[in-house]
Each structure stands twice: as C-alpha cells, then as structure tokens.
Structure 1
Amino acid sequence: MHGHRDAHTGIHSEHGALPGEHPGRHPNPVIKVLDLAWLEFEKPDLIRAEAFAHAFGFRTAYRDQHELQLRGARAGAPCVRIRRGAVSRFTGPVFHAADLTDLERLATALDTRTFPLQESLGGWTVGTTDPSGLRVRVVAETHRLDPLPTPAPLDWNRGDETIRINRPQRPPREPAPIQRLGHVVVQTTRYRETLDWYLQHLGLIVSDFLYYDRQRERGPVMSFIRCDQGSIPTDHHTLALTLGPSNRYVHSAFQVPDLDTLAAGGAYLHDHGYHHSWGIGRHVQGSQIFDYWRDPDGFMVEHFSDGDLFDNTEAPGWAPMTASGLAQWGPPATADFLGVAPGRHAAAELGAMVSALREEDNEFDLRRLVGLMKVARS
C-alpha cells in the first residue's frame, strides 16, 4: 500500500514511498490509542501560567495550590495539566486508550501495571518512557467534562455566493476559544527507534515522512503521525517526531473555530504583550491554518484551524524537508520558529549539537547536521 502514489496528489506529499522504505505502520501493534488525552508540564508560577492560558483561549477546569488543569470547549478530558515544579519543563504526552482492557494489555506488554489517577481526573493510567527518555502515559475511563458553548462561525460572502447582506462583519478582539488539543511535536536524538516504538505500542500510523535533501537513502528525519481508528477520520497528525541533537519539546497545537477567531485571538495576545513566533499561514503537511506564540516560560504553542483528516486507508507521503516547504502561504518561517534566533534556546541547541556529535548512541551525526543546516537556509 505504501507504494501507491495517486492517492497523495492534492492531499499531502505528492509522492509515496520507494520500494523498501518505511511502511509507516506496525503490522500488529499492542493497542491502538484513540487520541491525545492531555499534555503535562511543570512550572514554578501557576498564576502566570493561568494568565497566559486565559489570554490564549483556555478555560480553567481545576485548580489548587499544586496543580492547574486547562480545558477547551469540547467535551472530554482537560487539554493541559500544569503542576508546580522548581523549573519549567514538559513532562510528557498522555494518550487515550479505548478501554481498560487495552490499558491492561499495554501494561502487560510493558511489564508494568495500571494505576488509578487522582480524583479530579478519574480513571486509570499506565506510565512508561519512550526510547528518547520522554515519559509517556496512556489513560482510560477518565472523567468526562461537559461541553462549553463556543461562538458560531461567521457567515462569509464567498465570491458570488452572497449570504451576508446589510450585516457588517465585526469579529471581537478577544481570546480565541480553544476547542481541543490537536497535536504535540517532539525532537529526539533516536528518531527511528522512537518512531517504531510509538507505531508498535500505541498503534499510530504515519501520514507524512520528511527527509533531508540528498539524504533520502538514509531514511526519514521527521514523521507526522496519526491515530488509527479504521474508517473514522482522525487528525493528519496527533504526534510529530523530528530528529535533532537533543530530546525536547518543540510545540503543541490547539484547535480554534476558524480563521477569524484565530486572527482576532492573535491580535488580543499581541495587545497584551505576548511573544509572537510565526504566522498566520497555511501548512503543507496537515494543511491547517496556523499561528504560533510563546508562553512566558518560552514554550511554543499553536492556534490552528481547518486541518486535514485521514482515515486508515491513506498511505504515507514522502517529501524533502525545507523551511520554505513549511507553508503554502504566509510569511517566511522566522528564526524564532526554526530555533536559530539568538538567545538561550539557540545556545542550548548549539551545545546539544556538540554533545550529540561526540556521542555514538544517537542518530544525529555530522551528515545529519549538514542536512539540518540546509533546512534552516532553505
């Protein structure tokens, strides 16, 4: 199936795999998770974190002196858990299993056991680490938050289809209402091993692979990975993995209703002095309209709308990784988004490059470094 090319035309990367390349899925995964449940962080200042969260469009689902849970409008679990910690850090993603039986099957495969979650969340969890050392948890039977109201999408006059007469358009300049968690992107020094781990244990499947220019024979360096719910369409990517000199969080993305709420929400964030990273534009892989911001602790977060949905019949696309290929339209990718802007983030990544090149227990070698540098210049 991965050699079929016609299905990709006009949908995502136009070309499929060559013979012998990664198929993008495991033939017999342990379980198939349904979706991301939430993301977990630690931060020293929960008051500051909550202030940004409200400006970004989250609502508080639960709060005490040790923990903050943030939600979108959709029914279900919170989108983000932030616990008080000495330093700001991403502690890992949490995925939804279909039921407790799947959770127990995963626990057996990982040689661990299920544990109850705290009362504010309910349900059960299995915890482990992926090959890059990131903590990963899978949950089942958690409490379900009731849906919250969100504004209806605005009526648009589209070309000759004029449905808005004598009604000026005035979208309010206010926080973009978050609907749900969409995806998380992480960087790993052990890309191939980490990719295969997620496909085998969580049943994720690849939507698109990217490779460095003139290095396709060495295999991909980034994958956009979705959940497999059979004929039920799921987001183009729930998790994205990219090869790099360090194991770190890159960004997370949260859906908002439409372009107007995304743009007006960005204006609100700008008015309140928050740091804009890149946007507005439309991506290639995933097609979503995007806008990137940084919270006060430096974590990159994305508003998105109108993303691709695939069922499990869609085979992986293959494309070269370039900075210009990140968007169909919009401003060029910024140095901040690419991680090369002067500052502590770029300095930390430079130090990680030196360390990675000295070590042998990773996939980031000198040729991969050259490929990454070409991406930043492309």
Structure 2
Amino acid sequence: MRPETTIAPRLLTEQPARHPSPTVKASSLAYLIFERPDLKKAVRYLEDFGLHASQCDGDILYLRGTGTAPYCYRVHRAEKQRFVGFGLTLNSLDDLHKLARLPGASGIEPAQGPGAGQRVRLTDPSGFCVEAVYGQTPADEWPHRPALVVNQPHRTPRINNTQRPPAAPPEVIRLGHVVLEVADYQATCAWYTGHFGLIPSDVQVFADGSPAVAFLRLDLGDMPADHHTLALAQGIMPAYSHSAYEVVDADAVGMGQRVLRERGWVHAWGIGRHILGSQIFDYWQDPWGDKHEHYCDGDLFTADQPVGLHSISAQAMAQWGQRMPKSFTRPRMSLAVLRAVFHHLRHSPDLTLRKLITLARLFG
C-alpha cells in the first residue's frame, strides 16, 4: 500500500495532468547531455560512480551502463560547466516526423554517438535541450553480478554461504530519471505532457494547491514504467537538480558509498528510502557540484495508476535515513542567480514571493 499523506486543500491547477492526445509517447529516457571544461576529471568521477567510458570522439565523451542502451551519458568539452538536456527515445519514425513539425524543431538529422539512429532537437519552455531519438541500435548487454540472496526470519535460502559483494564501484545498469527545477512551471510541464505523453505519478503541492514537484512517468500502457522518468520542481530558475542510476541491490548502493568516499568525492545525501518512488538512494556530487544518485528497488506503475496528491514538506522526502540536508536544495548563490530570482519573480506566472518564502523555509 502506498503511504498516505495530507492532500492540500485545493485542487491542482491545469498542470500536471494527462494530455488526452499527446503529439507522441516517449518510450524511454535515453541519455543526459553535459558540458564540462575537463573531460579527464569528468570520466574519473563517472567511472568511480559506476559508468563506463565507451567512446570518445575528440571533444565528446560517451559513457554507458551494463544495459542495452548504447550510451546514457554524453559530455562535451566546453569552457564552462553546464547541464544541456537529455534524450528521449521514440517508438517510430512517424513519431519523429510529428515532432519535427513542431515550432522550433531542428528537423530530422543523424543522431550522434554509439547506436546512431535519427533525432530531432527541441528546446523546452525552460531552455533545456531535448533530443528525440529513433532507430538507435541497442548495445550488447554486459554481465553484472546478480542481486544478493537475502535470508529472512522465515525464509533462509542462503545456507553455508556468505555475502561478499566486490569492493569496487557499483555496476550502473541504466539511467533511471532526471529531476529539473523550473521557474515557468505550467508551460514546461504542459510541454512534456502534451508533446511526449508523460503522466503524473505523484504530485507535491503548496498550500494553495499549486504544484511544487511533479513526478512524471512514461505512458507505456500495460507495461510497467518507472515511477518517474522526469520530475519537475518549482524553482527560482531553470536548473539541473540531479539524475539517478539503477544498481542491482542495496548492497551495491552501500558499496558505492564506500568506494566514492574512499576516493575522495563529496557526499550529498543518503543512504535512505524515498517515500514517493520508494527507491533506496544515495547521492554524490561530481567535480562541479552536480548530484548523481545510486538507487535500487523503485516503484513501477502501469498507465492506469491514478495520480497521488501530497502536501510538500521536508519530512516527505524519505521514509528512513538521514534527513535531507539543507545543502541538498540550496542554490549556489551568485550575482547571476540573484538576477535570475528577481527576473523570474517579476516575469514568471508561476513563481511568487509566497512560494519562494515557502521553499526557503522548508529547504533553504
């Protein structure tokens, strides 16, 4: 049974909501796109995290997990560090043509990197790049250790055998989800539900009923989909929050913490279990402060699962484990950030001073 939480007193505004006839329905989260000034430093962190560098084309680095995705992480060499966007996989060439007709779309062009295929590049209302991809050739799946067999009080399958998971970076199997902060919430959320068919699994709301965080999943019909592939949080400006990578079990999450700590990387939050999505999680920062999550045991929903509504609170972040530290959501303050805050308070229809105060009180 899913945990009960208090529902805010008013109904949601227009978004998030299922779109009755989206342009297409995305089938998977393909990859993330970053820009970094130092590819060697980037790959050192990501390989310690559990990804594998699979190809380097000059100033572009591709990394993969053990699954069949040709790559799940693309890094471009650039003067400054930046999260650029992500790729979504489509089911047909016809879907690609539909997106190519949207205003501002790039038109159909060859896709970059391992797996090839074709793509259309779009920009969402918050300025993030979205590459819609069709026809990638799947990679060969790499072996990974099976989940450990666990003894329980009345079920003890492991007799005369010990638990010795390898003391090595955990094997990332696949990219699971990405979480973004946006100022123009309604337009951005409507863009993803309307053009890619994403549907809300759970929504955290402010006291006035407007959305604070929406966990959006793929519409795969009767096939179970991750609780969320994309989550959108009301923020002070467009920003990358974190991305999440599935590992085989809780021991892999724990071993990841040990290895990353021993190799000197910066811990962000965990280990714990989320309430919405149920994942056992652990978060780490890359050399530029961007958060990456190891997780296992996440919820899976079919398309007919109704949306859950919950009041936003710091206590709603985890069932157990360390409380979410203030530093987890606190922005890295700079003159540019302050200018962005004032700009969006004046011009965004969704960001208000009351919401800003609420976010600062809960998470600042």
TM-score > 0.5, shorter chain as reference: yes
Pairing 1:159-308 to 2, within 5 Å after superposition: 159-212=153-206, 214-216=207-209, 219-308=210-299
Matched residue, 1:45: 38
Q: Which amino acid aligns with 1:234?
A: A
1:172/1:12 Cα in 2 relative to 1: closer, same or farther (>3 Å)? Answer: farther
Q: Is the 8 A contact 2:7 2:311 kept in 1?
A: no
Matched residue, 2:87: 94
Are 1:71 and 2:64 an aligned pair? yes
Helix, strand or coil at the partner of 1:371: helix
1:119/1:238 Cα in 2 relative to 1: closer, same or farther (>3 Å)? Answer: closer
Are 1:375 and 2:342 an aligned pair? no
Output the CA distance in 2 between the equivalents of 1:349 and 1:288.
34
Q: Which moved more, 1:159-168 or 1:143-152?
A: 159-168
Matched residue, 1:10: 2
Shift of 1:48: 0.9
Q: Is the 8 A contact 1:13 1:208 kept in 2?
A: no
Output the CA distance in 1 between the equivalents of 2:220 and 2:65.
22
RMSD between aligned alpha carbons? 2.1
1:358/1:230 Cα in 2 relative to 1: closer, same or farther (>3 Å)? Answer: closer
Return the TM-score normalized by structure 1. Answer: 0.90
Matched residue, 2:49: 56
Output the CA distance in 1 between the equivalents of 2:239 and 2:29.
18
1:20/1:243 Cα in 2 relative to 1: closer, same or farther (>3 Å)? Answer: closer
Q: Is the 8 A contact 2:26 2:196 kept in 1?
A: yes
Shift of 1:361: 3.4
Q: Which amino acid aligns with 2:256?
A: G
Matched residue, 2:101: 108
Shift of 1:10: 2.0
Output the CA distance in 2 between the equivalents of 1:282 and 1:370.
27
Q: Is the 8 A contact 2:183 2:344 kept in 1?
A: no
The number of residues matched between the two structures is 362
> CA offsets per residue over residues 63-94 of structure 1, 9 Å max, x none?
13311111011112311000111111111011
Output the CA distance in 1 between the equivalents of 2:232 and 2:74.
21
Matched residue, 1:4: none
1:322/1:20 Cα in 2 relative to 1: closer, same or farther (>3 Å)? Answer: closer
1:305/1:13 Cα in 2 relative to 1: closer, same or farther (>3 Å)? Answer: farther
Helix, strand or coil at the partner of 2:211: coil
Q: Is the 8 A contact 1:123 1:139 kept in 2?
A: yes
1:180/1:368 Cα in 2 relative to 1: closer, same or farther (>3 Å)? Answer: same
Helix, strand or coil at the partner of 1:312: coil
Are 1:310 and 2:304 an aligned pair? no
Are 1:29 and 2:22 an aligned pair? yes
Shift of 1:20: 7.0
Helix, strand or coil at the partner of 2:112: coil
Helix, strand or coil at the partner of 1:78: coil
Helix, strand or coil at the partner of 1:251: strand
Matched residue, 1:359: 346
Output the CA distance in 2 between the equivalents of 1:68 and 1:119.
9
Helix, strand or coil at the partner of 1:280: strand
1:262/1:286 Cα in 2 relative to 1: closer, same or farther (>3 Å)? Answer: same
Shift of 1:143: 2.4
Matched residue, 1:130: 124
Output the CA distance in 2 between the equivalents of 1:24 and 1:148.
38
Could you tell me which runs of 5 or more consecutive residues in structure 1 were left unpaired when the two chains were aligned.
Answer: 1-8
Output the CA distance in 2 between the equivalents of 1:85 and 1:250.
20
Helix, strand or coil at the partner of 1:157: coil
Question: Identity rate of aligned residues, in percent?
Answer: 37
Helix, strand or coil at the partner of 1:319: strand
Return the TM-score normalized by structure 2. Answer: 0.94
Are 1:152 and 2:139 an aligned pair? no
Helix, strand or coil at the partner of 1:109: coil
Shift of 1:353: 6.4
Matched residue, 1:326: 317
Q: Is the 8 A contact 1:17 1:318 kept in 2?
A: no
Q: Is the 8 A contact 2:97 2:108 kept in 1?
A: yes
Output the CA distance in 2 between the equivalents of 1:102 and 1:292.
35
Are 1:118 and 2:112 an aligned pair? yes
> CA offsets per residue over residues 39-67 of structure 1, 9 Å max, x none?
00011111111111110000111113311
Helix, strand or coil at the partner of 1:156: coil
Matched residue, 1:3: none
Q: Is the 8 A contact 2:62 2:113 kept in 1?
A: no
> CA offsets per residue over residues 186-244 of structure 1, 9 Å max, x none?
111101110011000011101011112x222xx21210000001000100000000111
> CA offsets per residue over residues 319-350 of structure 1, 9 Å max, x none?
0111111000111101221226xxxx144686
1:129/1:18 Cα in 2 relative to 1: closer, same or farther (>3 Å)? Answer: same
1:326/1:43 Cα in 2 relative to 1: closer, same or farther (>3 Å)? Answer: same
Q: Which amino acid aligns with 1:77?
A: P
Q: Which amino acid aligns with 2:69?
A: G
Q: Is the 8 A contact 1:38 1:77 kept in 2?
A: no
Q: Is the 8 A contact 2:8 2:208 kept in 1?
A: no
